[in-house]
Structure 1
Amino acid sequence: MVLTSPQVTANTFSVPAAPVIKKAYLASNGIRVVFEKVSASPAVTGYVLSSGAGSCAISLPATTSGVVTLPIITGQSSATVSIKAVNAYGFSPARTWSKTFTAAELAGVTSTSWQTVQLLQLSDLHGAIEGTSTNAGTALLTTAFAAERAKNPATFTLSAGDNIGAAPPISSQFEELPTIESMNLMKFDVSGFGNHEHDRNIAHVQKIIGASDFQWVASNYNTLEPLKSGNKAAKSYLVLERGGAKVGFVAGNTEDTKEQIFPGNLSFGGKELVISPDVTGINAAVKAAKAEGADFVVAILHQGWQENRDGEAKGRLIDLAKQIKGAAVVFGGHSHQTYSSALAGNAAVNGTVIAMTRNAGQEYNRVTLCLDSSRRVRGTTVDLVTRANIATLTPNADGAALVKKYKDQLNAKLDVKIGQVNGIFAQGGSPQVQRAGEAAIGNFTADAMRKKYGTDFAYINGGGIRDKFPAATYVAADKSFNRPGTDKVAPYDVTLGDALAVYPFGNTVGVSVITGENLWKALENGVSNWPGDGRFPQISGFKFSFDTTKAVGSRVQSVTKADGTAIAKDSKEYTVAVPDFMIYGGDGYVGFFTPSKAKLRGLLVDVFIEAVTEASSGGKAITIPALDGRITKVNP
């Protein structure tokens, strides 16, 4: 199964149609394939042909003649030819030739010593080690990865960061060490850093590095000096040799990390970690890995694809992939979406493949590269493996035991019912609802903050909302609770564990003041990276509208009180309830919420729990509130 990217676009743009195979027949040196090229908008950047599992794929530029010979590699027992076209929006569906060539038929073909190398990649695990109906979890992923490695000894397993942080209680309540233990068990080889690896201070990062059996890589940090523990330390690049292949790995974190974490978390010994927004360090690391003998290099970026729009793939992942020189594959993450494509190549050099997955272990990428006898990459395929694809595997017993060990310690504390809901508060999606517009969970939380502290307004960042409610990542041990499932209907019981999965950061609500002018500025910051950025606002006590076709800084079109009274860009002050993370500049909200006047009150998660309990009093179930238009995107 190969990903076709979601389409967030006008009908005039799309992924290509599947090319038609006109002929596929045996030749002395492989399978001769003749196909019809296709046109698309955006333009086709290339084609990839494969003869099935365990085969060596061939990637072709858009200028191909439409004729190619697929190699048969030593040990290949059958061949089923398939083809896909690709453009900026993603890969086409596969077109498969009607005949499968058998081992007896292939025996007459001269085989080659070309080699396949397999990469298993996920991103943004966020401590989702406990398996659910949507998340694979440690035990199932351990089995799946072991099965993948059994098919190809040249297999490397990697993550694009945010393994920890914004995690459910089974990880966050134990300093995120259960997730690192899980990754060790799953035999990860390498991980880049994401912004959430820095949710706690440098001392915690050092603890995580010390607990890791895999290598951490960062190529765009100004220094790696503090990123070490004992004899373990982060590197600017890594070259691993396995199964006869030498693969280089480089990595880049998002430059927005400083804005997205608590101030001071990048500080050490009077110095500061600085994360570069450009690819200078990454390109230098690629060059160094190749000089060390890597057959090819993989770039691991904690940057995301956002959407396909107006004939272009949008997002920092795409922007940076085009600037990285010499990487065969660029993996992404951060925006919690599924995407894969390939940049344009030519007859001499294949186009770089770009791929990323959704968060929380819902899926992983299986990327297979074909190396010829001169160690040149000749083709690359991308297979998206979802939880459903591996559901019939037997979960690994050690992985199940690891999860149970920590789960048993949590049950008494978190399996406490706090109320009922008549449905599921949505979170996530493409784009993520809480990061792209008004969301019911945001309305409920912001309203609760404003009510509890008696302020004019409340304002939270959508990126702080980490799960649905009831939570997809929290599995209650008490089976008497009515929980979402295929055979269950609302109302659903909700627990402390659910609440901590939705709001895992431990942020405190502060009460401060904000001027009309700063409210407009705060909102401009909030919509500046629409869609998908965590700074997007969820609000209470006022309304605003925005237009994403306008330039950044001029997108907010109106701001009014709930009754429609205009809020001017002036010095008039309003009281506001807001998380301390934002008061002190997180997510780019620098100075807007008057830190000098802020008074810190209760934990955000406690405010949420109190509101759920109150709304469920007397045996009532909370009705998911209808959206009331407090946030309006005025352009299509």
Structure 2
Amino acid sequence: MELYKKILLLIIVFTIFSCQKEDGKIDFTFLQVNDVYEIAPIQGGEFGGMARVETVHKELLKENKNTMLFMAGDFLSPSLLGTIKVDGERVRGKQMVEVMNSMNFDLVAFGNHEFDISQKDLQKRLNESNFPWISANVKLKTKEKSMPFYKEINGKKEPVNETFIKEFSDEDGTTIKVGFISVCIPSNPKEFVQYGNMFVKARASYAALQDSVDVVFGLTHVKLTNDKRIAKLIPNLPLIMGGHEHTNSYDTIGSVLISKADANAKTAYIHRISFDKKTKKTSVKSELKEINSSIKSDEKVAQIVDKWQTILTSKIKNIIPNPEEVIYTAKTPLDGRDTPIRSIQTNLGEIITKSMSFAFDDSVDCALVNGGSIRIDDQLTGAINAVDIFRVLPYGGPVLKVQIKGRLLKRVLDYGLLAAGTGAYLQRFNAEKVGEKWMIQNKELNINKTYTVAFSDYLLKGFDIPFLSSENKEVLSVYSPKEDELASDIRKAVVEYLKKMESN
């Protein structure tokens, strides 16, 4: 009798649920990160860390199985890990793909920094990734034609699509199709990349999608001003999840929301979304979630991160014996963010160039480094160790002592100033422009005099400043330091200079 009652109860419950009608409403969640270059926590372990992001991801999946994890571009480069060699080959974002594979990213957009690495390395990362990529305006350019980027798996090429469709369903049977469009800023010209017009391609991909899905969202990697223009061109997008800027923002253009999280997963955006099939209305509730030390790391992802961090530490020890040792305490944040470091003199730029002079016992007249060599795109504050300095200057390289004619030095300084906003902008020590005159050690630059200048070795290769190379007749001599000298690696010079500052 008791068994009969239980069976009857199960039949009643099943009947109730099976008769439950589709209500036409469905909820889903988006978790957005963008511009993530570091897999491990930053700022002394206080913020960021992909293992912490994964903990948030899993919690959201428990809350709602219809949860998607997004990367809005810029993750393969730049990073300190990406510059090191493992088994004779530079890492070039391999560590990031491995971590993202373990996190089961649902969709990623191309960012401009994905094209920092070579076509060959990018192809390897595409092939290794188990997540879909999307872009409407970046194509692979060959000698014969342009074509979509692709993954090659078991000899078969799978093209990167211009759009992406995801289907959601809930317990009562409500089903919808959600579409995504994506464009990337054309700010990193490469021979193997063809950039289509961002706005034309965004509109075209939306038009191609709108009749086959219920709602379309944006996943972009462009400037905020570009996102705002896209929002005006496509006013029916409920949300654009964007990247490129490294500081969180949340804007509304008409009824279009535009969200950007902080770089390096210091924050992530959680978007809880409801869609009504009858009214076609979408509501979005967004939460900016700080990723900090209060969030436990996911064990599976943390194991992969720890593996790569161990490799990194061993490589750094080849140059600095105690990479984790605190060498300096920054009470004022040292500014290495991309925009300022490439536009104005910053306190971090001053420390680096003072270190270059320090490496030669201050026997140089001035010191110059291109802002583009400083790749941390962050502010350093509090306890700083050698690993932080390697993150600031991942490519390292020697500091060169160069005898140079005053006429050429003036041309170099003028060029660097006019290059504000680019990597060729010069951070300087003992070189300052006062009115219309350049001052070297507080004395007016004499174009007929010979000056001794500390240059980063990259600057003498003529990439950023085309006329500055050892081939120029006004470069009189170039001294390249020996391996045991402090100037043999710019990072060693900065570490030792900061130690001296800390002890004073």
Partner residue, 1:520: 414
Question: What do the CA deviations read for 1:522-569 (whole angstroms, capped 9, x no partner)?
Answer: 31221xx4xxx7665422231247xxxxxxxxxxx645224455569x
Alpha-carbon deviation of 1:377? 3.4
Query: What SS does the corresponding residue of 1:330 show, helix, strand or coil?
Result: strand
Given the superposition, is the C-alpha separation of residues 207 and 578 from structure 1 closer, same or farther in structure 2, using an over 3 Å criterion?
same
Specify the code of the residue in structure 2 equivalent to 1:245. I
Given the superposition, is the C-alpha separation of residues 393 and 421 from structure 1 closer, same or farther in structure 2, using an over 3 Å criterion?
closer
RMSD: 3.9
Partner residue, 1:214: 131
Partner residue, 2:57: 145
Aligned-pair identity (%)? 17
Name the TM-score, length of structure 2 as normaliser. Answer: 0.74
Alpha-carbon deviation of 1:317? 3.9
Specify the code of the residue in structure 1 equivalent to 2:149. L
Specify the code of the residue in structure 2 equivalent to 1:117. F
Given the superposition, is the C-alpha separation of residues 317 and 523 from structure 1 closer, same or farther in structure 2, using an over 3 Å criterion?
farther
Alpha-carbon deviation of 1:279? 1.4
Contact 2:39 2:49 in 1 (8 A): yes
Given the superposition, is the C-alpha separation of residues 294 and 394 from structure 1 closer, same or farther in structure 2, using an over 3 Å criterion?
same
Partner residue, 1:169: 81
Question: What do the CA deviations read for 1:348-376 (whole angstroms, capped 9, x no partner)?
Answer: xxx11111011111111112333212472
Query: What SS does the corresponding residue of 2:370 show, helix, strand or coil?
Result: strand
- Is it true that 1:287 corresponds to 2:236 in the alignment? no
Partner residue, 1:311: none
Partner residue, 2:348: 441
Query: What SS does the corresponding residue of 1:442 show, helix, strand or coil?
Result: helix
Quote the Cα distance in structure 2 between the aligned partners of 1:183 and 1:324: 30
Equivalent residue for 2:275, pick from 371, 383, 386: 371
Equivalent residue for 1:504, pick from 376, 391, 394: 394
Partner residue, 1:116: 27
Quote the Cα distance in structure 2 between the aligned partners of 1:467 and 1:622: 27
- Is it true that 1:129 corresponds to 2:40 in the alignment? yes
- Is it true that 1:241 corresponds to 2:124 in the alignment? no
Partner residue, 1:475: none
Contact 1:127 1:172 in 2 (8 A): no
Specify the code of the residue in structure 2 equivalent to 1:275. Y
Quote the Cα distance in structure 2 between the aligned partners of 1:444 and 1:455: 16
Given the superposition, is the C-alpha separation of residues 525 and 430 from structure 1 closer, same or farther in structure 2, using an over 3 Å criterion?
closer
Contact 2:274 2:284 in 1 (8 A): yes
Contact 2:399 2:489 in 1 (8 A): no
Alpha-carbon deviation of 1:160? 1.2
Given the superposition, is the C-alpha separation of residues 421 and 576 from structure 1 closer, same or farther in structure 2, using an over 3 Å criterion?
closer
Specify the code of the residue in structure 1 equivalent to 2:47. N
Point out the more displaced range, 368-377 or 191-200: 368-377
- Is it true that 1:257 corresponds to 2:184 in the alignment? no
Query: What SS does the corresponding residue of 1:616 show, helix, strand or coil?
Result: helix
Specify the code of the residue in structure 2 equivalent to 1:447. K
Contact 2:148 2:161 in 1 (8 A): no
Specify the code of the residue in structure 2 equivalent to 1:539. R
Query: What SS does the corresponding residue of 1:249 show, helix, strand or coil?
Result: strand
Quote the Cα distance in structure 1 between the aligned partners of 2:460 and 2:214: 45
Structure 2 counterparts to residues 34-53 of structure 1, below 5 A: none
Contact 1:343 1:352 in 2 (8 A): yes
Query: What SS does the corresponding residue of 2:58 show, helix, strand or coil?
Result: helix
Partner residue, 1:4: none
Contact 1:511 1:578 in 2 (8 A): no
Quote the Cα distance in structure 2 between the aligned partners of 1:304 and 1:208: 25
Alpha-carbon deviation of 1:194? 1.7
Specify the code of the residue in structure 2 equivalent to 1:336. H
Contact 2:74 2:111 in 1 (8 A): yes
Alpha-carbon deviation of 1:149? 2.0
More helix by share: 2
Partner residue, 1:297: 216
In the alignment, structure 1 segments of 5+ residues that lack a partner are 1-109, 259-265, 306-314, 345-350, 473-483, 485-491, 546-556, 624-636
Given the superposition, is the C-alpha separation of residues 468 and 303 from structure 1 closer, same or farther in structure 2, using an over 3 Å criterion?
closer
Partner residue, 1:340: 250
Quote the Cα distance in structure 1 between the aligned partners of 2:181 and 2:283: 21
Query: What SS does the corresponding residue of 2:466 show, helix, strand or coil?
Result: coil
Given the superposition, is the C-alpha separation of residues 383 and 584 from structure 1 closer, same or farther in structure 2, using an over 3 Å criterion?
farther
Partner residue, 1:178: 95
